[in-house]
Amino acid sequence: MAEKKILIVDADVASRNFIARNLLDQKYEVIQAGSGREGLICAWRDRPDLAIIDPSIADLKGEEIAAKLKQDPRTANMPLIALSSDSSVVHIKSCLDAGFSEYITKSGQAVQILNETIARFFGIAAVSEKKGGLLMVFLSAKGGTGTSSMCANIAQNISQNQPEARVAVADLVLPIGSIAPIVGYEGPKNIVTITDMPPGETNPKFFRSELPDMNIWGFNLLAGSPDPESSNHLKVGRIWDIVLALKESYDYVLIDIGRSLSKITLPLIQQADLIALIISTDISTVSLTKTLWKYLKNKGVGAASVYTVLNRAVGLEGLSKADAEKILEIPIMATMPYLSSNFAFANSHHQPFTLKFPKDTASFVFLEVAKDMAAQARKQRAA
């Protein structure tokens, strides 16, 4: 670790020195700057491996510092961590959009979160990230493709195929979670309340014993934000250590992010053993999916880790599998048949499709897709 160099940019000398002492104790080399302009000079001159910046620094806005660093080839790939006392969602989004990789709010847990985040960026935690349960991320390029229903039903079928396996589903769709209404969960525990807990309490033992059991669904649920106002209080810096704890607690962790692709969820996609990319048959969704796939490829996601599902359950008309593959330039691994009103009926009754309609063709497709996805995730982990 001794060769890793970290730049701290903060006008508050006491805060800056406190962070520096913590980093020096971990054998990092530390550079300090008391202003935004001085921070830019240090970054371009000394080439640190990572920068921790208070975005409320007086002489330059944090967003402006991030933009300048990202536009310069000398620092374009350097991870930037915002460490701020401002916890407003608007400011967090503004900083992440400007180029910050992570945003951590100054609090009693900030140092621990900061240490975990730095370790992740430097790859120290890379080995542990590939241990534990298999991580599957469900996403789409457009809303209305049935991503959350697919996530819940695939999780149920994995549990049905492997009754000895422990399965968890985490809902990271923002600003309102979408898994809880499908499975009928109305309890108090959700991603917002759990990120608000002290890091020491949200350990693997907590997730093994405290996550609600969804009974007939066969999995434990970490529900999403219950409403937009609650999502404003989500401590996004806690997401990764919670996912790691879930992986230590369960054999399979399925995360639904819907179309909530952001700098918060991108690391989860990049570290996933399998990415379930859900597509509907309309041309606009397929075109947007092509754009999304190009973006993911540029971020280092390989085609072998993507499991593409053409979901006809949400609409009969539209592109064929062959037409969609031609546009996407990536194979479609599975096609869900048209389910008429049965899918919505099962969801409204909070029941898995294969239990509500066991003789429907789609129930057999769900079972086979769940087996195939689990096998593909294991294959990717082994590779």
For 21-39, what is each residue's pLDDT tens digit?
A: 999 988 899 999 999 999 9
CA 191 – CA 59 distance, rounded (Å): 36
131-382, what's its fold? Answer: Rossmann fold (3.40.50)
User: Per mean pLDDT, which range of 188-197, 275-284, 287-296, 313-322 is the poorest?
Assistant: 313-322
Q: Is 307 exposed, middle or buried (0-12, 13-18, 19+ CB in 10 A)?
A: buried
Q: Which CATH architecture has domain 5-124?
A: 3-Layer(aba) Sandwich (3.40)
Q: In the prediction, which pLDDT does 128 show?
A: 54
Task: Examine the pLDDT at 210 and tell me if it is beyond 90.
Answer: yes
The pTM for the full model equals 0.74
Supply φ then ψ for residue 167, to 5 degrees. -125, 135
**Most distant CA pair in the chain: distance in Å?**
68
User: Per mean pLDDT, which range of 15-29, 125-139, 365-379 is the poorest?
Assistant: 125-139
State which amino acid sits at residue 272: A
pLDDT band at 1 (very low <50, low <70, confident <90, very high): very low
Q: In the prediction, which pLDDT does 237 show?
A: 73
Q: In the prediction, which pLDDT does 123 show?
A: 63
**200-204: average pLDDT:** 89
Kindly state the tokens that stand for 128: 């542990």
Nearest to 147 by CA among 310, 13, 377, 339: 310
pLDDT band at 199 (very low <50, low <70, confident <90, very high): confident
Q: Hey, how many other C-beta atoms are within 10 angstroms of the C-beta on 300?
A: 8
CA 282 – CA 243 distance, rounded (Å): 33
Give per-residue pLDDT as tens, 301-357.
Answer: 899 999 999 998 666 678 889 999 999 999 999 999 887 788 889 999 999 999 999
Q: Do domains 5-124 and 131-382 have the same CATH topology?
A: yes
Task: Examine the pLDDT at 113 and tell me if it is beyond 90.
Answer: no
**51-79: average pLDDT:** 93
CA 302 – CA 304 distance, rounded (Å): 5
Task: Examine the pLDDT at 120 and tell me if it is beyond 90.
Answer: no
**117-139: average pLDDT:** 78
Kindly state the tokens that stand for 344: 């919505």
Give the rounded percent of residues in the chain with a pLDDT score beyond 90: 70
Q: In the prediction, which pLDDT does 260 show?
A: 85
Residue 359 or 3, more confident: 359
- Cα Rg, the chain, nearest whole Å: 22
Task: Examine the pLDDT at 2 and tell me if it is beyond 50.
Answer: no
The domain spans of the chain are 5-124, 131-382
Given a contact cutoff of 8 angstroms between Cβ atoms, the answer to whether 334 and 310 are in contact is: yes
pLDDT band at 365 (very low <50, low <70, confident <90, very high): very high
CA 222 – CA 171 distance, rounded (Å): 6
